[in-house]
Amino acid sequence: MKHVRHGENCIWRRVDKPAAYGYHRIMKENERISALKGIGEKTEKLFQKLDVYTVGDLIRYFPHGYDVYEPPVPISEVEENHVMTVSGAIYGRVSVGGSPKLQITTSYVKDLTGTLKVVWFRMPFLKNMLAGGGQITLRGRVVRKRDGLLMEHPEIFYPPAKYREKLDSLQPVYSLAKGLTNNGIQKAVKQALSSLEFSEDVLPSYIKQEYGLMDYQEAVRGVHFPQEKELFYKARERLVFEEFFLFILSLRLSAEEKGRMLNAYCMRPQPVMDEFIQKLPFELTNAQKGAWRDVKRDMDGIHVMSRLIQGDVGSGKTIVALLAMMYAGLNGCQAVLMAPTEVLARQHFHTFEEMFRQYGIPLKVELLTGTMTAAQKRSAYERVELGLSQIVVGTHALIQKGVTYHKLALVVTDEQHRFGVKQREMLAQKGDSPHVLVMSATPIPRTLAIILYGDLDVSVMDELPKNRLPIKNCVVDTGYRATAYTFMKKQIGEGRQCYVICPMVEESENMEAENVTDYARNLQESLGGNVKVACLHGKMRQAQKDEIMLAFAQNQIQVLVSTTVIEVGIDVPNATVMLIENSERFGLAQLHQLRGRVGRGAHQSYCIFMTASKSKETKERLDILNHSNDGFHIASEDLRLRGPGDIFGIRQSGVMNFKLGDVYQDAAILQKAGEAAAKTLKKEESSSVKERFLRILWL
């Protein structure tokens, strides 16, 4: 028996674990992860890249998906770009080729329906193992190479009975940083879970009871290492509920605190603005006029503005924001616009500068982003602080400590679904209760919007500019790819431009970059030398991204192959074709946003949803997009069609960036959490609720 030692931070106790684990030190959530066995300084640094610093952060570093060990499929039914399992006999000769650095073992597996080529990398010893022939089960990604489909580097189950043990189990898949493996993270989480003393459950017990929610500790375990699907759903539900509950509570409490603040900014009429609107190359839509009227009324009113403009993609929200910012600027105040990506911030910056120059508006625009050099930032800070620039556009860099504003009267956030309320508040706190304007292209059904945006007045822009032709859509399988390329070529011949959203690779971000580059190279080959194809992905340096976006905007590049980094906001009206590969992997709302990159000008635009999936559900989902260009309709259909099963495979809609919860998918939980938050506030004094949640809420 080992000694049991008590100490301040260091208590030893026996835990219910296999003998091999022996004794575990009991840990607290705020301990550094280097307290875990096997995590040294180097690994700790890698985890920090994932924002995991403490043991508590680690157990809240949830898997982004699960590997489901599904039953084997007949070889004739394997699908390109999917991880699949097949079971059959090893067929023919096993050979080892490739180079000494990268040996490639090649074999074939055969069942009653067909034969599939299989390759492994750097595992020449497999030759002997497989040479004996016999039945085998393989699980790996199926890809298309020149000579047809093949399975790459599969996991081997030999004999196949070994697979049966894993069948239907869920293996957590974590997002990785370079140098960390999925297995490594799994191990660290396991260790943390077995030695952690959990802090007190934040959900009041009456809420847990009423809504049938499990304990925090059990839920965390259940989400990392689900024993079975049903328990996983319950575990996830509990954590999502908590996430929504805290979010709604913080909204309500801060709204209560602020009350309706008085408007300290006196705005005088600005005749220049009406002239500006008159001179625009287009007439504002009625929806734009209405939104601007609402905003102006707020800014002239007794109370500070808190307004959300909700308008479908392409409805022209930017110009409304610009008007509001101009109004503040011409009145001697400052206005700030925060965009979620650097690409988008720069686009707005250029648009505004160009418009002011063209129409002789005497306002100066400043850009403030994270990738600017220290010297550039310093001089920008200075101009902002002295009030030499009236309009400031940027990314998160706008809320950094070093930035001081000068009479900041208006704060605008574009594509709000990318920000938390927290960032919006932080920006607002940079001023002295400035007006707040939030712009969102995410058509959230009204019932949910009331919960999520309870603190805002809403203007809806439900009209597209008159010159727009509805986008023509089609849903096709991968056999149509060549035809799609020909079509793109024809459009380019007519002077137009195209986007291609590349297939996604889940494994690692590095592969994503490689994938986009490869795809672009192949596409360049198919389209020929007269067309310029370029690619864009998250791993590129900002300067490179800017260069490419600028060249695309000026039509020096005709086809942009990209990951979803172009999802929000980008405005190149000359682009008329959007081709989305693997469209089954996206949520409907996200697909709608992507499609919104085309159909922004007077030319007929097209969206091609490509999918290799033959499933009926996929067809049904994509059909909704095929037949509707209306974001609100799509959002409500998305809600109707999504079930808990979708948690595997489909990416989150990205609305408001919750860690686990998804506003669409978890709409029912959101409703309940809203109800529960209201009950809690009614039952308890706000001050005691606040005290209890202070640790967690950002109030």
Binding residues for Mg ion, rule: CB under 5 A, are 569
> Residues 379, 467, 554, 615: which binds ligand ADP (CB under 6 A)?
467
Q: Which of residues 222-261 bind ligand ADP (CB under 6 A)?
A: none
CB 441 to ligand ADP: min, Å:
6
Listed ranges 94-102, 127-135, 278-286, 502-510: which one lies at the site for ligand ADP (CB under 6 A): 278-286
Residue recorded with tokens 């594509």: 415
Question: Does residue 631 touch ligand ADP according to CB under 6 A?
Answer: no
Name the amino acid, one letter, at 3: H
The smaller minimum CB distance to ligand ADP, of residues 154 and 596, is found at 596
Name the amino acid, one letter, at 115: T
> Residues 54, 315, 652, 653: which binds ligand ADP (CB under 6 A)?
315
DSSP 8-state secondary structure symbol assigned to residue 35: G
* Per-state percent for the chain, helix, strand, coil, to nearest 5: 45, 20, 35
User: Pick from ligand ADP, Mg ion, none: which does 647 bind, CB < 5 to 8 A by kind?
Assistant: none
CA–CA distance, 394 with 346 (Å, rounded to integer): 7
CA–CA distance, 13 with 196 (Å, rounded to integer): 11
CA–CA distance, 384 with 42 (Å, rounded to integer): 40
Phi-psi region of 294 (alpha: psi -120 to 50; beta: other; left: phi over 0): alpha
The smaller minimum CB distance to ligand ADP, of residues 72 and 314, is found at 314
Listed ranges 181-189, 193-201, 283-291, 480-488: which one lies at the site for ligand ADP (CB under 6 A): 283-291
Residue 290: in which H helix or E strand, if any? helix 286-300
The smaller minimum CB distance to Mg ion, of residues 88 and 596, is found at 596
Question: Does residue 323 touch ligand ADP according to CB under 6 A?
Answer: no
CA–CA distance, 32 with 275 (Å, rounded to integer): 60
CB 239 to ligand ADP: min, Å:
33
> Residues 130, 136, 189, 319: which binds ligand ADP (CB under 6 A)?
319
Question: Does residue 621 touch ligand ADP according to CB under 6 A?
Answer: no
The smaller minimum CB distance to ligand ADP, of residues 429 and 467, is found at 467
User: Pick from ligand ADP, Mg ion, none: which does 56 bind, CB < 5 to 8 A by kind?
Assistant: none
Half-sphere exposure of 40 (CA within 13 A, CB side): 1
The smaller minimum CB distance to ligand ADP, of residues 319 and 333, is found at 319
Name the amino acid, one letter, at 151: M
**Is the Cα torsion angle 434, 439, 440, 444 positive or negative in sign?**
positive
Which of 124-130's residues contact partners 24+ apart within 8 Å by CB, and which partners? 124/96, 126/94, 126/156, 127/94, 127/95, 127/96, 129/158, 130/90, 130/94, 130/105
CA–CA distance, 214 with 627 (Å, rounded to integer): 41
145 burial type by CB count under 10 A (0-12 exposed, 13-18 middle, 19+ buried): exposed
The smaller minimum CB distance to Mg ion, of residues 440 and 478, is found at 440
CB 308 to ligand ADP: min, Å:
13
CA–CA distance, 478 with 481 (Å, rounded to integer): 5
The smaller minimum CB distance to ligand ADP, of residues 282 and 698, is found at 282
Residue recorded with tokens 């850009």: 367
Listed ranges 18-26, 56-64, 281-289, 299-307: which one lies at the site for ligand ADP (CB under 6 A): 281-289
> Residues 129, 284, 355, 540: which binds ligand ADP (CB under 6 A)?
284
CB 36 to ligand ADP: min, Å:
46
The smaller minimum CB distance to Mg ion, of residues 253 and 365, is found at 365
CB 467 to ligand ADP: min, Å:
5
The smaller minimum CB distance to Mg ion, of residues 340 and 569, is found at 569
User: Pick from Mg ion, ligand ADP, none: which does 666 bind, CB < 5 to 8 A by kind?
Assistant: none
Task: Tell me the backbone φ, ψ of residue 414, rounded to 5 degrees.
Answer: -95, 145
Listed ranges 145-153, 170-178, 243-251, 279-287: which one lies at the site for ligand ADP (CB under 6 A): 279-287
User: Pick from Mg ion, ligand ADP, none: which does 311 bind, CB < 5 to 8 A by kind?
Assistant: ligand ADP
Question: Does residue 318 touch ligand ADP according to CB under 6 A?
Answer: yes
Neighbouring residues of 602: CB distance < 8 A, sequence distance ≥ 6: 467, 468, 469, 573
- Residues 342/369, Cβ–Cβ less than 8 Å: yes
Binding track, positions 551-590, relative to ligand ADP; x by CB under 6 A: --------------------x-x-----------------
> Residues 121, 125, 206, 282: which binds ligand ADP (CB under 6 A)?
282
Pairing of the two strands 457-461 and 575-580: unpaired
CA–CA distance, 496 with 579 (Å, rounded to integer): 14
Site size toward ligand ADP (CB under 6 A) is: 18
Q: Which of residues 470-529 bind ligand ADP (CB under 6 A)?
A: none
Neighbouring residues of 264: CB distance < 8 A, sequence distance ≥ 6: 304, 432, 433
Listed ranges 169-177, 265-273, 284-292, 391-399: which one lies at the site for ligand ADP (CB under 6 A): 284-292
- Residues 607/471, Cβ–Cβ less than 8 Å: yes
- Residues 697/255, Cβ–Cβ less than 8 Å: no
CA–CA distance, 198 with 215 (Å, rounded to integer): 11
Q: Which of residues 414-453 bind ligand ADP (CB under 6 A)?
A: 441
DSSP alpha helices (H): ranges in 359-401?
374-385
> Residues 221, 236, 307, 317: which binds ligand ADP (CB under 6 A)?
317
Residue 620: in which H helix or E strand, if any? helix 616-627
CB 41 to Mg ion: min, Å:
44
CB 92 to Mg ion: min, Å:
56
Question: Does residue 359 touch ligand ADP according to CB under 6 A?
Answer: no
User: Pick from Mg ion, ligand ADP, none: which does 282 bind, CB < 5 to 8 A by kind?
Assistant: ligand ADP
Task: Tell me the backbone φ, ψ of residue 39, rounded to 5 degrees.
Answer: -110, 105
Listed ranges 308-316, 545-553, 623-631, 688-696: which one lies at the site for ligand ADP (CB under 6 A): 308-316
> Residues 63, 314, 329, 431: which binds ligand ADP (CB under 6 A)?
314
Task: Tell me the backbone φ, ψ of residue 477, rounded to 5 degrees.
Answer: -95, 175
Chain residues that interact with ligand ADP, rule: CB under 6 A: 282, 284-285, 288, 311, 313-319, 441, 465, 467, 571, 573, 600
